[in-house]
Amino acid sequence: MIVLVGLNHKTAPLAVRERLFAGCQEEVNLLGALRTIDGVREVLHLSTCNRVELVASVDKAPVIMDALKSFLARYGGLTDNEAASCLYGYRDEEAIKHLFRVTSSLDSLVVGEAQILGQVKDAYRQALALNATGIALNRLMHRAFRTAKRVRTETGIAANPVSVSFAAVELAKKIFGTLSGKKTLIIGAGEMAELTCTHLIGNGAEEITVANRSLAQAELLAEKYSGKAVGLDDLDEALCDVDIVISSTGAPSYIVTEDMVRHCLRKRKNRLLFLVDIAVPRDIDPAADDIENVYLYNIDNLQDIVDENIKNRRRESIKAEGIVQEEVAQYASWLKELEAVPTIVSLRSRVEGIVRMEMAKAENWMSQLESEDREKVDALVNGIVNKILHAPMAVMKEESAEFHSQDIVAAARQLFRLDD
Active site residues: 49
Q: What contacts 237, CB < 8 A, 6 or more positions away?
A: 230
- Three-class SS of residue 203? coil
**φ, ψ for residue 415 (rounded to 5)?**
-60, -45
Rounded to whole angstroms, how far apart are CA atoms 410 and 343? Answer: 9
Residue 236 and residue 260 in contact, taking contact as beta carbons nearer than 8 Å: yes
Distance CA 67, CA 63 (A): 6
Give backbone dihedrals phi and psi of 188, rounded to 5 degrees, phi first.
115, 155
Q: Counting beta carbons within 10 angstroms of the beta carbon of residue 149, is it exposed (0 to 12), middle (13 to 18) or buried (19 or more)? A: middle
To the nearest 10 degrees (0 to 180), the angle between helices 405-415 and 299-361 is 0
| 128: enclosing H helix or E strand | helix 115-129
Nearest CA among 239, 243, 249 for reference residue 283? 249
Are 135 and 335 spatial neighbours (Cβ–Cβ below 8 Å)?
no
Residue 296, strand partner residues: 275
In whole angstroms, give the CA distance from residue 351 to residue 173: 70
For 39: left if phi > 0, alpha if psi spans -120 to 50, otherwise beta; the answer is: left
Give me the residues paired with residue 5 across strands.
54, 89
Parallel, antiparallel, or unpaired for β 51-58 and 2-8?
Answer: antiparallel
